[in-house]
Amino acid sequence: MDDKEKQERIRKRLEELSKSNKPSGDKRSPFGSFRIFMMILSLVFVFYVLSGNMNSYLQEKKSVSYTEFISKINSGQITEIKEKDDRITAIILENNKKVEYSTRKLTERIGDDQNLMKVVAAKNTKVEALEPSGSTLFWMIVFQFLPIILLVGAFIFISRKMSGGQGGAGQIFSFGKSRTDKVENKPNVRFEDVAGVDEAKEELKEVVEFLKNSDKFTKAGARIPKGVLLLGRPGTGKTLLAKAVAGESGASFFSIAGSEFDEMFVGVGASRVRDLFEKAKKNKPSIIFIDEIDSVGRKRSSGKTGGEGGSDQTLNQLLVEMDGFEEEDNIIVIAATNRDDVLDPALLRPGRFDRRVTVDAPDMNGRVEILKVHAKNKRFADDVKLEDIAKITPGFVGADLENLLNESAILAARESREIITMKDLDEAVDKIGMGLGQKSRIIKPEEKKLLAYHEAGHALMTEITEGADPVHKVTIIPRGSAGGFMMPLPEEKLVTGSKDIIAEIRVLFGGRASEELVLDDISTGAYSDIKRATQLAKVYVTKVGMNSEFGPVNLEASDDMNYNWIPNISDETSREIDLEVRKMLKVEYDNTLNVLRNNRDKLDAIANLLLEKETVTGAEVRELINPMVEGTHVEENHVEESEEMKEINDLQN
DSSP 490: P
Q: List beta partners, residue 104.
A: 87
Is residue 81 pLDDT above 60, yes or no? yes
- The per-residue pLDDT for 539 is 92
Higher pLDDT, 214 or 360: 360
Neighbours of 201 (CB within 10 A): 20
Which of 72-86, 484-498, 511-525, 615-629 tops mean pLDDT? 511-525
Of 455, 515, 580, 588, which one is the catalytic site residue? 455
pLDDT at 39: 63
The confidence score (pLDDT) of residue 162 equals 55
pLDDT above 60 for 12: yes
| pLDDT exceeds cutoff 50 at 426 | yes
Does the N-terminal peptide bond of residue 285 adopt cis geometry, omega within 30 degrees of 0?
A: yes
- Taking the C-alpha atoms of residue 22 and residue 20, their distance in angstroms, rounded to an integer, is 5
Instruction: Please state, as a whole number, how many other Cβ atoms lie within 10 Å of the Cβ of residue 510.
Output: 30
Which range among 73-87, 142-156, 179-193, 203-217 has the greatest average pLDDT?
A: 203-217
User: For residue 278, what pLDDT is reported?
Assistant: 84
Are 345 and 299 within 8 A, CB to CB?
A: yes
At residue 112, the pLDDT reads 62
Amino acid at 107: T
Q: Where are the alpha helices (DSSP H) in 520-653?
A: 527-538, 571-598, 600-613, 618-625, 643-652
Higher pLDDT, 257 or 649: 257
Per-residue model confidence (pLDDT) at position 590: 94
Q: Is 90 exceeded by the pLDDT of residue 446? A: no
What is the model's pLDDT at position 602? 92
Burial of 157 (0-12, 13-18, 19+ CB in 10 A): exposed
| pLDDT for residue 167 is more than 50 | no
Average pLDDT over residues 342-352: 83
Q: Is the pLDDT of residue 582 over 90?
A: yes
Q: Which of 142-146, 219-223, 518-522 has the highest mean pLDDT?
A: 518-522
Bond into 627 cis (ω within 30) = yes
User: What's the CA gap between 401 and 454, in Å, rounded?
Assistant: 30
**For position 14, what pLDDT does the model report?**
55
243: phi then psi, degrees, rounded to nearest 5: -65, -35
Alpha helices in 233-355 (DSSP H): 238-249, 268-282, 309-323, 345-348
Three-state secondary structure call for residue 76: coil
Opening angle at CA 495, ends 493 and 498, nearest 5: 115
Task: Determine the Cα–Cα distance for residues 243 and 194; give it in Å rounded to an integer.
Answer: 10
Query: What SS3 state is found at 383?
Result: coil
- Residue 145: which residues within 8 A CB-CB, separation 6 or more? none
Phi, psi angle pair for 570, to nearest 5°: -80, 170
- Low-confidence winner among 38-42, 209-213, 500-504, 519-523 (lowest mean pLDDT): 38-42
Count of other CB atoms within 10 angstroms of residue 143 = 9
238, 290 contact by CB (below 8 A): no
Q: Report the chain's C-alpha Rg in angstroms.
A: 43
Q: Residue 537's pLDDT is what?
A: 94
User: Mean pLDDT lowest for which of 96-105, 307-316, 384-393, 623-632?
Assistant: 623-632
Span 117-131, average pLDDT: 67
d(CA 127, CA 458): 105
More confident residue, 101 or 605: 605
**pLDDT band at 634; cut points 50, 70, 90:** very low
Asked if the model's pLDDT at residue 591 lies above 90, the reply is: yes
Q: Say yes or no to pLDDT of 267 above 50.
A: yes
Instruction: List Cα–Cα distances, 541 to 88, 549, 578, in angstroms.
Output: 94, 9, 9
- What contacts 345, CB < 8 A, 6 or more positions away? 299
Neighbours of 36 (CB within 10 A): 10
**pLDDT digits over 147-163, tens only?**
777 777 767 766 665 55
DSSP summary character for residue 439: T
Q: What is the distance between the terminal CA atoms of the chain, rounded to a whole angstrom? A: 138
Q: What angle do CA 229, 234, 240 make, to 5 degrees?
A: 65
Q: Say if CB 251 and CB 186 are below 8 A apart.
A: yes
Range among 29-33, 79-83, 369-373, 502-506 rated most confident: 502-506
Within 8 A by CB and 6+ apart from 495, the residues are none
The pLDDT of residue 170 is 47
- Distance separating alpha carbons of residues 267 and 264, to the nearest angstrom: 9
pLDDT digits (tens, 9 = 90+) for 381-418: 988 888 888 888 888 888 899 999 999 999 999 999 99
Contacts of 382 (CB under 8 A, 6+ apart): none
H-helix or E-strand spanning residue 66: helix 66-74
pLDDT computed for residue 254 by the predictor: 86
Q: Which residue has the higher pLDDT, 646 or 456?
A: 456
Q: CA of 596: how far to CAs of 19, 269, 409, 512, in Å?
A: 104, 62, 41, 11
> Closest Cα partner for 177 from 318, 278, 320, 315?
278
Q: For residue range 526-565, list pLDDT tens digits in order.
A: 899 999 999 999 999 988 888 888 888 888 765 544 445 5
Q: Per-residue pLDDT averaged across 199-215, rounded?
A: 84
Ranges 44-48, 360-364, 568-572: which has the least confidence: 44-48
Of 91-105, 293-307, 436-450, 632-646, give the range with the top mean pLDDT. Answer: 436-450
pLDDT of residue 608: 92
Which DSSP state fits 306?
Answer: G
Confirm whether 455 is a catalytic residue.
yes
What pLDDT is attached to residue 652? Answer: 43
Q: Are 475 and 435 in contact (CB under 8 A)?
A: no
Average pLDDT value over all residues in the chain? 76
Q: What is the pLDDT of residue 35?
A: 53
Measuring CA to CA, which residue among 634, 622, 642 is closest to residue 505?
634
Q: What share of the chain is helix, strand, coil (3-state, %, to 5)?
A: 55, 15, 30
For the segment 428-437, the average pLDDT, to the nearest whole number, is 79
Helix/strand/coil (H/E/C) assignment for every residue in 331-382: EEEEEEECCHHHECHHHHCCCCEEEEEECCCCCHHHHHHHHHHHCCCCEECC
Residue 264 in 3-state DSSP? coil
**For residues 276-305, average pLDDT:** 78
For residue 640, the model assigns a pLDDT of 42
SS3 for 407?
helix
pLDDT value at position 596?
A: 94
Percentage of residues in the chain having pLDDT higher than 70: 67
Nearest-angstrom CA–CA distance, 276 and 269:
10
